[in-house]
Amino acid sequence: MSNEYYIQLTFKFKKEGKKWTAYCEELGTAAYANKIEEAKERIIEAVLLHLNTLEELGERERFFKENNIKLLREKPKSYSVPTIDQDMYTTSYIYPIEKKHLNL
């Protein structure tokens, strides 16, 4: 049996003027940058900070429950959803959580 669980988060990227915005639907975390690659790096950094802070405060399980974020026993497949508009797309982000860090 695996020692990891996973959560699957949804990242939405949108070009607004000369900047790219990045938004995590489940956490409400956002970031922006001049290039899409930078926006992706920044949203991942912001999400990791958000998740680590929730864990440090002992609030992760409550937050996940209130925001309907499910712990998955198997690693899900990631996905990307391109749109007709080249200035917008959606992708998943898979985050592993060690079982020892959960109150199961």
Q: Supply the pTM of this predicted model.
A: 0.85
Nearest to 102 by CA among 75, 64, 68: 64
The CATH number assigned to the domain holding 88 equals 3.30.160
Please report the pLDDT score of residue 104 as a whole number. Answer: 54
Report, in angstroms and rounded to the nearest whole number, the Rg of the chain calculated over CA atoms.
15
**pLDDT tens figures, 72-102:** 989 888 878 766 677 888 888 999 988 765 6
List of E strands, the chain: 4-16, 19-24, 29-33, 80-82, 88-98
- Whether 93 and 78 have beta carbons less than 8 Å apart is answered as yes
**pLDDT < 50 regions, the chain:** none
CA dist 50 and 68 (Å) reads: 16
CA dist 20 and 82 (Å) reads: 15
The count of structural domains within the chain is 1
Can you give the residue range of the structural domain that contains 71?
4-101
